[in-house]
Amino acid sequence: MNEALVLELARDTIMVLLKIGAPVLLAGLVVGLIISLFQALTQIQEATLTFVPKVLVVFMALFLVLPFMLHNLMDFFRMLMEHAASGG
């Protein structure tokens, strides 16, 4: 296993991590910004107002994006196994 292969695998790992995590994190970020704007406009400072909608949206996004996440992970694992089978 040479340095170029290790760097390529590390880069691919980071890209898969970003593809998997980004949709759920972006959904939470958008909802958080909307709720923060609403709180700033109405001056309602309730902690559960930010927590509950974010949790619901993150779970819904996770449920919707789960097939995409699984497909990416399976492709990545298949690529890793092909590298291992070819001797690195």
3-state secondary structure of 1: coil
Q: What is the pLDDT of residues 20-34, one digit of tens each?
A: 999 999 999 999 999
pLDDT band at 88 (very low <50, low <70, confident <90, very high): low
pTM of the model: 0.79
Count of domains in the chain? 1
- The pLDDT, as a whole number, for residue 75 is 96
DSSP conformation class of 44: -
C-alpha 7, offset from chain centre:
22
| Amino acid identity for residue 22 in this structure | A
Give the whole-angstrom CA distance, residue 14 versus residue 25: 15
Range of the domain at 14: 3-85
Q: Which helix (H) or strand (E) holds 74?
A: helix 47-85
Q: What is the pLDDT of residues 38-69, one digit of tens each?
A: 988 988 888 788 889 999 999 999 999 999 99
